[in-house]
A and B are shown apart, each in its own frame.
Chain A
Amino acid sequence: MTSSAAVGVHSIAATMTTAPAVGFQRYAWLMLAFPVFGALVLIFGGRRTNRWGHLLGVAMPIGSFVVGLISFFALLGYTDRSRDVHMFTWIAVGDFHANVGLLLDPLSMTFVLLITGVGSLIHIYSIGYMAHDPERRRFFGYLNLFIAAMLLLVLADNYLVLYAGWEGVGLASYLLIGFWQYKPSAAVAAKKAFIVNRVGDAGLTVAIFLMFSTFGTVTFTGVFSGTKAAGTGVDTALGLLLLLGACGKSAQLPLQSWLLDAMEGPTPVSALIHAATMVTAGVYLLVRSNPILFYSSTARLAITVVGAATLLFGAIIGCAKDDIKKSLAGSTMSQIGYMFLGAGLGPIGYVFAIAHLVAHGFFKADLFLGAGSIMHGMNDEVNMRRYGALRRFLPATFGCFLVGYLAIIGIPPFSGFFTKDGIIEAAWDKGGTSGAILATAALIGAGLTAFYMTRMVLMTFFGKARWEDEVPAGRRETPETDTAGHAPHPHESPWVMIWPMIILSIGAIVTGGFLVINGRFAHFLEPVTGPAPDNNGIWTVPGIIALVLVVLGAGLAWLMYGRAEVPAVAPAGSPLTRAARQDLYGDAFNESVLMRPGQWLTRLSVFFDNRGVDGLVNTAAAAVGGSSGRLRRVQTGFVRSYALSMFFGAALLVAALLAVRL
């Protein structure tokens, strides 16, 4: 550990020598400008952009992707692999300068390619998915805003600009989750996502304050060069605060509750949130801040604990949900948990966390788009118990979904096998009690993943068709009336939706192997995360155990849902099942532990404000007003009243004179 620490220190110093960008990379700001332009035009352009709005919306992220790709290849040519694009000074107060600049390094470029690549595919898919929505143009405007905010987040070269992107992502997710705002559930879900994110944002905000007060700067370069001198206490505080921020964005325990409700948004939004943007921001933040975490084992332990707990939490929820999107959402939570676990494990973990993030971006987008395609063909039915035998009706979707399925459960040679097993192996290698517990949790999570994904595939594509009944209005994703009263007639989606899924499937197959074999990604990321220990090869002990557990989990699922008949109405289930259907009482916990006392506190504050503060002010005002009112009554306008006071005055004058003279 000591030797790796020394290496780490060296690597940090190497990381933060960035050079000004030259050549094409000077135009890296175009990556941001494209989606910003698209969002502005589409949101403020109004209905006159309806006809061609979606085309503009698709073109913008593709443009960003192209710029990103060129920048990426340009970056490969540099040995230090880090370039800074200074754009302008945002805030200049005394010695404090907040510059807006872009940092092009392996980590940010990885994210840029993922965000713009997967994002573009989701945009293309949305053309077909949202074809019948009258507000499609607005939807694309929000999507572009989302992409722009996320790009700002990952490209920022200081924490302040990162925070701006961070909040932009929160805003865009709010707008998109609540896109069908006429549905009360969607409006509530959007608010919930926003508010829970605010809790995390508070952590990030305080972390930035702390950075500024400790280091006097918020740039990555400045902060990371001072972490060693700052001491363990500050680093631990920063690490925990950043973890809180990351938990909010990435839906980790204890701020996980918004993610499942976020399924109220259109399916492409779910795909975008879960695969390319939003939830990955937390992982990015932690990996980006690795020089801070390096000096705080406490923070790293906390991250691994959060990750391990969330991966089990999400997997259990995923096992019980009958709603295909919510089941996938639980899966996302679980997979991000893996990434957190990896991010807490140090340099090797960073690499696999990011590798898993990229691979997950592909296969989770694939799965979500597949789910969207199924819903598209099933009158927006989301209940898996109403599916069955869909492989004959949706062959292309089935194929893509199957690839995603194999990738997520980690069957070689699909992506998940390489990346997830890397994380499990890293936990295994950590050693000690904590390593054993974390590895066990990760292994159980792998088995559970296999179980719920197999369950999902079996319930959806195999067995007997169970969709004869009319879809009740309440369960459909959109309350469109034109399909009500008809039994669903499953049909394959248009090609504009199929092609993105096929491309994503290819990505889901090859990404993991490409990144992990020969440690390509580890070498690529080395300037950021420090050199990773040598890889143990593809076939390791934990990897084989994980594979066995995966096979067991899949077999169990086949026994329960493949061989046996799936009931169209959910059975009561065990207490654990019922708890998992209720999101393991996450909302109930929040409500009873946070909301109720919060409400009491609020009421107390309101009471104090009304009676105490306002009371004081109002009493003073009332005293002045009341005495003025009484004084005013003296001014009756009656001459005789005035004469009376004059008369009294005269009498008083006489009295005074007498008192003086006598």
Chain B
Amino acid sequence: MSPSAYVVLSVILFAIGGVGVLVRRNAIIVFMCIELMLNACNLAFVAFSRMHGNLDGQVIAFFVMVVAAAEVVVGLAILMTIFRTRRSTSVDDASLLKN
């Protein structure tokens, strides 16, 4: 398969993830959609890596994974804190700067 097919697929997944971020209110699902977007990027990185015939793209994808893991850890911890105080994970509920 030509790398462009992978890149197009990654674009489509990225866009779907973005739309998911925009339309879903549950913070967990929003996080999952962000993960999807990151994964779509990874796919593009890997495709480019293969296209160029070097491993730099894969290294970048690896770093993206690490950062994504860190982000999930912190994000979910924040989510837990919010849920503890508000009993809700809806991102729309946290629309005010004060409680």
Consider the complex of A and B and state whether they touch directly, i.e. have CB atoms less than 8 Å apart.
Answer: yes
Known interface pairs A643-B21, A643-B22, A644-B22; A637-B91 also in contact (CB < 8 Å): no
- A residues 464-506 near B (Cβ < 8 Å) are none
User: Nearest Cβ distance between residue B78 and chain A, in whole angstroms?
Assistant: 12
Q: Which residue of A lies closest to B96 (CB)?
A: A637
Interface size on A, residues (CB 8 A): 8
Q: Which of A361-400 contact B (CB under 8 A)?
A: none
Q: Nearest chain-A residue to B94 (Cβ)? A: A639
Q: How far in angstroms is the closest Cβ of chain A from B67? A: 19
Chain A residues whose CB sits within 8 angstroms of the CB of B92 once the complex forms: 638-640
> B97 at interface (Cβ–Cβ under 8 A)?
yes
Inter-chain contact total with CB atoms closer than 8 Å: 23
Min CB distance B7 to A, Å, is 14
Contact A639 B91 (CB under 8 A): yes
B22/A638 in contact, CB under 8 A: no
Across-interface contacts of A640 in B (CB, < 8 A):
21-23, 25, 91-92
By a CB distance below 8 angstroms, the chain B residues around A637 are 95-97
Determine if A636 is an interface residue (Cβ-Cβ < 8 Å): yes
Contacts of A639 in B (CB 8 A): 91-92, 94-95
Complex CA distance for A639 and B91, rounded to whole angstroms: 7
Q: How far is it, in angstroms, between the C-alpha of A640 and the C-alpha of B23 when the chains are bound?
A: 7
The distance in angstroms between the C-alpha atoms of A198 and B21, with both chains bound, is 75
Does B75 make an interface contact (CB < 8 A)? no
- The reply to whether B95 and A638 contact each other, CB–CB distance below 8 Å, is yes
Q: Provide the bound-state CA to CA distance between A598 and B18, in Å.
A: 70
A636, A638, A647: which contacts B18 (Cβ < 8 A)?
A647
Docked complex Cα distance between A644 and B97 (Å): 20
- Which residues of B from 2 to 51 have beta carbons under 8 Å from A? 18, 21-23, 25
Chain B facing A: main interface SS = loop
Q: Which residues from chain B contact A636 at a C-beta distance below 8 Å?
A: 95
Q: Provide the A632-660 mask, 1 if CB < 8 A to any CB of B, else 0.
A: 00001111100110010000000000000
Interface of A (DSSP majority class): helix
* Residue of A with least CB distance to B23: A640
Asked whether A638 and B96 contact (CB < 8 A) given A644-B22, A647-B18, the answer is no
* Residue of A with least CB distance to B91: A639
Minimum CB–CB distance from A641 to chain B (whole Å) comes to 9
Contact with A along B77-99 (1 / 0, CB 8 A): 00000000000000110111100
Contacts of A638 on B, CB cut-off 8 Å? 91-92, 95
Please report which residues of chain B, range 51-84, place their CB below 8 angstroms from some CB of chain A when the two chains form the complex: none
Which residue of chain A has its CB nearest to the CB of B14? Answer: A650
A644 to B96: give the CA distance in the assembly, Å.
18
> From residue B17, how far is it (CB to closest CB) to chain A in Å?
11
Nearest-neighbour CB distance to chain A for B85, whole angstroms, equals: 17
A189-B96 Cα distance, complex, nearest whole Å: 62
CB distance from B23 to the nearest CB of A (A): 8
Determine the chain A residues whose CB is within 8 A of the CB of B95 once the complex forms: 636-639
Q: Report chain A residues within 8 Å CB of B97.
A: 637
CB distance from B11 to the nearest CB of A (A): 10
**C-alpha gap A637/B21 in the complex (Å):** 16
Minimum C-beta distance from A64 to chain B (A): 71
A636 vs B94: C-alpha distance when bound (angstroms): 11
Interface residue from B22, B25, B91, B96 paired with A647 (Cβ < 8 Å): B22
Instruction: Report Cα–Cα, A199/B16, bound state, in Å.
Output: 82
CB B34 to nearest CB in A, in angstroms, measures 10
A534→B92 CA distance, assembly (Å): 106
Task: Enumerate chain A residues within 8 angstroms of B18, measured Cβ to Cβ.
Answer: 647
CA distance A639 to B93 in the complex (A): 10
In the assembled complex, which residues on chain A have CB atoms less than 8 Å from the CB atom of B23?
640
CA distance A647 to B19 in the complex (A): 9
Question: In the complex, A636→B96 CA distance in Å?
Answer: 9
**For the complex, what is the distance from the CA of A644 to the CA of B18, rounded to whole Å?**
9
Binary interface encoding of chain A residues 542-573 relative to chain B, with 1 for a CB under 8 A from any of its CBs, else 0: 00000000000000000000000000000000
CA distance A260 to B80 in the complex (A): 88
Minimum CB–CB distance for B5 against chain A, Å: 20
- Taken together as a complex, chains A and B put the C-alpha atoms of A636 and B92 apart, in Å, by 10
CA distance A417 to B64 in the complex (A): 120
Q: Which residues of B lie under 8 Å from residue A644 when comparing CB positions?
A: 22
Least CB distance, A102 to chain B, in whole angstroms:
71
Q: Please report the C-alpha to C-alpha distance between residue A638 and residue B23 in the assembled complex, in whole angstroms.
A: 12
- List residues of chain A with CB within 8 A of the CB of B91: 638-640
Give the complex CA separation of A565 and B94 in angstroms: 98
Bound CA span A636–B95, Å:
7
Q: Which residues of B contact A643 (CB under 8 A)?
A: 21-22
Which residue numbers of B lie inside 8 Å of A, CB to CB?
18, 21-23, 25, 91-92, 94-97
Rank and list the top 4 A-B pairs by shortest CB-CB distance, nearest first.
A637-B95, A639-B91, A638-B95, A644-B22
* Given A647-B18, A647-B22: 9 more A-B contacts, CB < 8 Å: A636-B95, A637-B97, A639-B94, A639-B95, A640-B23, A640-B25, A640-B92, A643-B21, A647-B21
Could you name 12 residue pairs across A and B whose Cβ atoms are closer than 8 Å?
A637-B95, A637-B96, A637-B97, A638-B92, A639-B91, A639-B92, A639-B95, A640-B21, A640-B91, A640-B92, A643-B21, A644-B22
